[in-house]
A and B are shown apart, each in its own frame.
Chain A
């Protein structure tokens, strides 16, 4: 394999489906390479990109170590790699799926505990009275330590949890948990509640670059081709084109530009949220019929994520 760029995507679960759907939507199909048990793939549409399918946790580790150039994984998993992760992984684009919050949850029966300050006090009283520390079940050790320290909670200890963290208090293995939740339903089902100031991170899937990877000019070129497509598709989703007779040099154009629309050869490109307002202004001014349609891609000359990547790599 002499591919210049490695892209890691999740190998299982809902996140895998969402990433595949996102790439598909951008016109980038995946073809699994045979004989490799489906853990490698080719990206159709961009040359020089090898796709590796890994677990989301392994992707975070591979990004931080520089084993892969680009990857899609949760921000929660990246942060769990430790403080160096911030320096060696660059978030390029939030993807709007894989949303999950990392939260501190305490038993609902603890009516006297609704904030981290309550937790701090209860933890200390426990230590003084029994000599034992409050037990916190989690697999997010790094973020738990950092967050608890920031809130002055010192008298606790972590019980490392492999899976089903939310069940630890019911099982008698812990008092509170730090875990990922989307709706809070699983926590509630386990008689736990999220503390008012207990949201550690609002996470979602992120397209991320590994800064320690070996970035050759060819790799950077492949990344730029890929990112331009992804950005163009994202921009297309966020905008609509409006055309009307005489729209190429209508004197009303400057006024609409001040609203945030951008001039195009035969009309305007407007953010989706502005389409109705712009169209109403046009029809009120006697222009029409106004046709609004969604573009498939909007390629801009600039590509901000690539610019940020070059800066972070000291290449700009």
Chain B
């Protein structure tokens, strides 16, 4: 088992100070988190990296793999409309070749609404300054936006199911590549349930659900699994429509490939992205926001950083839905960021099971990597 090295107190204090200056409330969320909740948020892919425990007769829990969800739960439980929370503590992820108990210092910020562009820029600057306080001289910023690719796909005018599938696959390059390679291929057949689907599609939802239940009864099927007749009937109709809709054209596939390869200095990247879809209002609005974000970032300490903007969504930040920021070091390479953060407005709604809609973002530094003396 690899241990994190002892971290020099003065460097740690310098990193901590960056977060302290924000005036955020320091919190200590529980180390033990309900396994079912963590898996619901992160998915089965993370399970192999979790440390899972079970008290006699109790529910399964795991050691927290990050702070974002635990702090968001604390915030939700407080009932407060807004809050800034700073934290410092260990997170736990099983690993063959890296430390499994990792110190993180970070912040999570919740607000009912407000200037998201300004909040994003402030977060980028805070994360940058905190990482910089570790004393390294080889740092750079990598910026991105998890909402850009969905906005771009929307501008292509694809059928809903195909657009949704491409968006889902964006963070899984091999799946997406396979999907793009199929472009221009033969149309898929209308599934065998097409006749039923067309009949269901002609009915109002309630009658469609009733007809499906009748079909089950006639075929001797007892419904099991957690989906209602209405839900299944609606998707049968959608699936049949999708099967009859045109698939991705080679030109559209090329456009998507071009989008995903944009990786350049931020201003240049925004310009390239804008040229790919000049008439796409949703995308252009997001790009305009980015121009304002960059104005603010450049006016702050982070403005001195070498920065790139990467249009391709990254798979390891499943709940980010807007800004994504990472601080990289030349020595550690592109896969081992020493600080990371982003916007996750959608997470609160998922945690509370209801409507969220507020602004939520956060970022953290891994001092073990950020501190010049220990981060190798």
- State how many angstroms separate the Cβ of B50 from the closest Cβ of chain A: 12
Among the listed A109, A132, A133, which residue makes an inter-chain contact with B222, where contact means beta carbons less than 8 Å apart?
A109
Asked whether, in the complex, the Cβ of B222 is within 8 Å of the Cβ of A191, the reply is yes
Pick the contact of A190: B44, B196, B224, B235 (CB < 8 A): B224
Contact digits for A92-126, partner B, Cβ 8 Å, 1 yes 0 no: 00000000000000111111101000101110111
CB proximity of A167 to chain B, nearest CB, Å: 9
The stretch of A32-40, A153-161, A292-300, A303-311 in contact with B is A153-161
Distance of A170 Cα from B223 Cα, bound (Å): 8
Does the CB pair B235–A131 fall under 8 Å?
A: no
Q: Which of B89-97, B112-120, B161-169 contacts A (4 or more CB under 8 A)?
A: B161-169
Contacts of B40 in A (CB 8 A): 127, 131-133, 157
Q: Which of A126-182 contact B (CB under 8 A)?
A: 126-127, 130-133, 135, 145, 148-149, 152, 154-158, 169-170, 172, 174-176
**Residues of B contacting A174 in the complex (Cβ-Cβ under 8 angstroms):** 225
* Chain A contacts for B267, CB-based, 8 A: none
The answer to whether A110 touches B175 (Cβ under 8 A) is no
One of B44, B161, B169, B221 near A108 (C-beta < 8 A): B221
The smallest C-beta distance from A95 to any residue of chain B, in angstroms, reads: 32
B20-53 residues with Cβ-Cβ distance < 8 A to A are 36, 39-40, 43-45, 47-48
Instruction: Say which residue of A154, A172, A191 sits within 8 Å of B44 (CB atoms).
Output: A154
Known: A148-B44, A156-B44. Is A112-B193 also a contact (CB below 8 A)? yes
Residues of A within 8 A of B (CB): 106-112, 114, 118, 120-122, 124-127, 130-133, 135, 145, 148-149, 152, 154-158, 169-170, 172, 174-176, 190-192
Point out residues on B near A: beta carbons under 8 Å.
Answer: 36, 39-40, 43-45, 47-48, 161, 164-165, 168-169, 172, 175, 191, 193, 196, 212, 215-216, 219, 221-227, 229, 232, 235-236, 239, 349-351, 353
Kindly list the 7 A-B residue pairs having the minimum CB-CB distance in the complex, ordered from nearest: A109-B223, A131-B350, A169-B224, A107-B225, A175-B225, A112-B236, A157-B39
* Given pairs A125-B235, A131-B353, A145-B44, 19 additional interface contacts (CB within 8 A): A107-B224, A108-B219, A109-B225, A111-B236, A112-B239, A114-B191, A114-B193, A122-B227, A126-B227, A131-B350, A132-B40, A145-B45, A149-B45, A154-B45, A156-B44, A157-B40, A157-B43, A157-B47, A174-B225
